Amino acid sequence: MPNKQLRAVLALGTLAFLLTISVFKSVDVFSDRYMHIWLLDAQLQFVKDDYQVDKPVTKSSRGYHFDAGSSRVALPAEDLEGYEVFGLDRADIESVTLTKVLSSGLIEKTEIRRSTPLKERPYLDQNPSFSLKSSNADDEALQYYLDISTAYPIVLRPKLWTTTTEYLSTQRISENIAWIYFGIIAILLLINLFVYLNSKIQAYLYYAIFLAFHAISIGALEGFYLGTSLAQFKWIHPILISSLPLTVIFALKFLEDFLNLKKDYPNCFRILKLLRVCFYCLLIQIVLIPFPTLWALVINIQSILVIIASAVYPAIAGYRALNGKREHVLIFFAFIPHFIAVIYYALQVLGLVAFDPNNYFKLLGSSFVEMLFISIALGLLVRSIQQAKMQSDRQAIENLSRAVKAETKNSAELEQQVKERTLALETAVKEKTRLLETLSHDLRAPMNSIVQYSEITLESSEDYDLEDYKSFVTDINESTKSLYSLLENLLTWTRTNWGGVRIQEEATNLRRLIHNQIQVYAVQINSKAIKTDLPETEISVIVDQNMLKTVLRNVITNALTHMRNGGRLSFRWEANSNDRLTLRVVNEGHPIREDIAKALSEGDPFDAKVDIVSTGLGLRLCKATSDANEWSFKIEPLDDATQVTLSLKLDTNQAR
């Protein structure tokens, strides 16, 4: 929890507290200047039907307590002297009758029932109010009696005004404040409904429902139903007042949704959910209205829960405001005045502070501040959601743009892959075609020799002696060996190019391997008097022996084919600094053509038009095998010779 944010929230809470105190002080100043309300603070006595004094009326800081049923109290004339108007702050009393005993012995009675139309009331006021003057200016009231009939226990706090003008001024101001307050609620309700219908944000719907039930509960206190057919319904006021639990329920729902507690702060969500369940249970008060005692108990429990809820609002909102979001900070700020007003009212109920005649207007003032800042917070919520949506739209556009670019790139890459695979396919077809051409060329000579000499051998002619037949068989044998070598090269080349060979490298004595391959061709070497030059130094390399044998065998075969009698076949090697060994094989005789050497060295041997039988497939196999082993095969013509170069992996573990 960052200390900076905590200090900011505490400072904001202090500011909200000071603002609430300023509102309360402004209400007091306004009331003292324009409303001039006085409170009756005398000790009242119940009187019997024969106007005999009975027990005193129970009095607390809230006012005078009356049980359900009918009661009559005596109002001391001396405490009413100097005042012209007497009024009560409850609109839900069944009936109130003020009886004045005049000095002339006459009695004047004024009765106001809850169903009495406003136009028939003394001052057109919802709350019962009476003139303390007699109808005859010369007649003075000596005693006052108040008859009260109520369906449930109530607490009354009688108010006094010194002149009728002051009372009418107070009434007019109260009505204007009420109408302004209801107008603000109506406007906010419509705005929230409109925003909800367009945004589908649940917080606006919950706040609109909260405003609706709040208006009903305030309207019940104002007595808006008086003078209508609703006023004839005995339990109309308690039923309307029962909207208070629903007001709190939807305030809690609004707070849960606005602060996103269910997802982000599940523990806080569970606390508010428990409170909501409690207020749902309080709706049972509607059923208990005919049972005054039980109903009064539920109302007291409701008052305690309202105090708890009013404390929970700013606590959770303040905790959520630590994230620094402006709308959450404003919600915390908005609930501080409401909490202070409710606590102030609770202190009056508990008798810890004196009754404040302006408490109702202070509650309205704190509610106005609350609604103002909640509205601003809701506006910021819409703005943040719009900004988030715009950001999301921009991100979606960017993602779409990237997707289009990626798709374009993928299309280009796919097109390139198609071209490469097409080229590879064309190359493969071309390679196979030329392979067949090479095979037809390479197979023709040995096959022709075998056919011709075999036909001669089969003939029974006296023209050929035994030595001739031995010569024919020798030629057939050589052609067969050549054919076998060609087929073996073909098989090896096919497996090498089409992935059928597994490379198995091992440490190999290079000199011994070359010497063994030379011995294979000893007959041909001796028949052409070829001199071989092989260093005496032993050297070890890491190679696949079989593959290196294949390469050396074809290199030697190609060399013997093109070498002159008495030529030299040399083998040389040297170690490089990068743990490689360069092997050079040089054969004296007719040098290889440059175009053939270039084609064989640069990896496209089939572009060369090879017209020598043993060169056709053998050197191509050398190139393919070397590429598979990364031996860097290279063949090049010298002045009067041909040189083949291989780069082999040196065995670094051998003794130096």
Q: Which of 574, 585, 570 is nearest to 619 (CA)?
A: 585
Is pTM beyond 0.85 here? Answer: no
Say if residue 427's pLDDT is above 80.
Answer: no
DSSP annotation string for 126-181: SS-EEE-S-SSTT--EEEEEEEEEESS-EEE--EEESSHHHHHHHHHHHHHHHHHH
CA-based nearest residue to 556, from 599, 513, 594, 496: 513
pLDDT band per the 50, 70, 90 thresholds, residue 146: very high
Largest CA distance in the chain: 186
What's the pLDDT tens digit per position in 585-597? 999 877 888 887 8
CA quadruple 365, 366, 368, 373: dihedral positive or negative? positive
Q: Which domains does the chain have, with CATH numbers?
A: 3-36+166-393 (no CATH), 38-161 (2.60.40.2380), 498-650 (3.30.565.10)
CA angle 347, 349, 351 (to 5 degrees): 70
pLDDT at res. 495: 61
pLDDT digits (tens, 9 = 90+) for 560-572: 888 888 888 999 9
Q: What DSSP designation does 79 have?
A: H
Average pLDDT value over all residues in the chain: 80
Tokens of 551: 């390469």
Cα-based distances in Å from 409 to 213, 395, 405, 417, 420: 60, 20, 6, 12, 16
User: Do 162 and 83 touch, CB atoms closer than 8 A?
Assistant: yes
> Would the pLDDT of 498 be above 60?
no
Contacts of residue 519, Cβ cutoff 8 Å, sequence gap at least 6: none
Rounded Cα gap, residues 164 and 468, in angstroms: 160
What is the DSSP-derived secondary structure letter of residue 200?
-
**pLDDT band for position 608 (cuts 50, 70, 90):** very low
> What are 277-318's pLDDT values in tens digits?
998 888 887 777 777 778 778 878 888 888 888 888 888 888
Give the pair of three-digit tokens for residue 423. 């080229």
- Report the C-alpha gap between 397 and 401 in whole angstroms: 6
Q: How far is residue 581's CA from residue 573's CA, in Å, rounded to a whole number?
A: 7
| Of the candidates 4, 135, 160, 171, the residue with the CA atom closest to the CA atom of residue 76 | 160
Range in 15-29, 215-229, 623-637 with the lowest mean pLDDT: 215-229
| Percentage of the chain exceeding pLDDT 70 | 83
Of 169-173, 190-194, 342-346, 466-470, the one with minimum mean pLDDT is 466-470
Give the torsion sign (CA, 391, 393, 396, 398).
Answer: negative
What pLDDT digit, counting tens, does each position of 92-107 carry? 788 899 999 888 888 8
Q: Which residues contact 335 (CB under 8 A, 6 or more apart)?
A: 310, 313, 314, 317, 370
At 496, the pLDDT band (50, 70, 90 cuts) reads: low
Each residue's pLDDT tens digit, 386-416: 777 788 778 888 888 888 888 888 877 888 8
Compute the average pLDDT of residues 534-547.
88
Per-residue pLDDT, 610: 44
